[in-house]
Amino acid sequence: MRIVDGVYLVGGSSYNLSSGCNVYLIDTLGAGFILIDIGSEEDVEMVKANIIEEGFDPDSVSVLFLTHSHLDHSGGAALAKKTFKCKLAAHELTAEAIESGFQRSQGRLTPAYVDIKLRGGETLTFGKSKIEVFDASGHTREGGDLCYGLKVEGKSLLFTGDTAFKCDRGLMAGHPVSSWLGSRDIESIRKYLRSLENLSRAVKPDILLPGHGLLALKGGWRELQECIRIVSEYAEKISTN
């Protein structure tokens, strides 16, 4: 499904009701296609089929960027590398999990070599696309959460993985923060909050493309503010308990 020119949704629960994450495809206009996240191993074939359905050659996927190491986002990384013959890009802490084949909170995955190791703060150019990398640690206990920014036709897009969701009627609406972070101590909630605040200072997305649930096709920055509000309320609540 086309989101804006050159950016497509090619996987996720809108397609198959699996727990798989939203998978995005970016046409770099000159250096093949980029995937943002892949889902689990079971999702890779569907992603490939959706790329073909959009009229593109799956062999022209050049890089798969991972937002974090949770298995519903990264479990299919090894199979994706084989299927698309692409490079893998991830935070160095995510790379530790992918290369060792073990995600500390969620267990085993098929190991794969991570070709491009990131820390946040990088800007990578592929064809005519510039991918901005933002460190956003807090969602994954082990660290290594990244968000990716991209400008298309004057619009700012932000791929947020599980760091920020569409809030007003989406995944976070009415949900306590604990439902997607698990029970956490106040320090780690504060770390997550700081990441969201830094993110909203660094980028003002028009379109927010999360790892699950609805896409925020308008008012992306407002959704980010709403995430900050929800997480600060939660931090306040557990610090006074």
Residues at the interface with Zn ion (CB under 5 A):
70, 162
Least distance (Å) between residue 56 CB and Zn ion: 27
Q: Please, which residue, 12 or 32, has the CB nearer to Zn ion?
A: 12
Q: Please, which residue, 129 or 160, has the CB nearer to Zn ion?
A: 160
Phi then psi for residue 40, to 5 deg, are -90, 180
Least distance (Å) between residue 21 CB and Zn ion: 8
Q: Please, which residue, 152 or 189, has the CB nearer to Zn ion?
A: 189
Least distance (Å) between residue 139 CB and Zn ion: 6
Least distance (Å) between residue 164 CB and Zn ion: 12
Amino acid sitting at position 158: L
Three-class secondary structure assignment of the chain: CEEECCEEEEECHHHHCCCCCCEEEEECCCCCEEEECCCCHHHHHHHHHHHHHCCCCHHHEEEEECCCCCHHHHCCHHHHHHHHCCEEEEEHHHHHHHHHCEECCCEECCCCCCCEEECCCCEEEECCEEEEEEECCCCCCCCCCEEEEEEECCEEEEEEECCCCCCCCCCCCCCCCHHHHCCCCHHHHHHHHHHHHHHHHHCCCCEEEECCCCCECCCHHHHHHHHHHHHHHHHHHHHHC
Q: Please, which residue, 70 or 91, has the CB nearer to Zn ion?
A: 70
Least distance (Å) between residue 192 CB and Zn ion: 12
Q: Please, which residue, 23 or 51, has the CB nearer to Zn ion?
A: 23
Least distance (Å) between residue 236 CB and Zn ion: 24
Least distance (Å) between residue 199 CB and Zn ion: 16
Strands 129-135 and 107-108: unpaired
Where does residue 185 rank: exposed (0-12), middle (13-18), buried (19+ CB within 10 A)?
Answer: exposed
Q: Please, which residue, 70 or 166, has the CB nearer to Zn ion?
A: 70
Q: Please, which residue, 132 or 162, has the CB nearer to Zn ion?
A: 162
CA-based torsion, 210, 214, 218, 220: positive or negative: negative
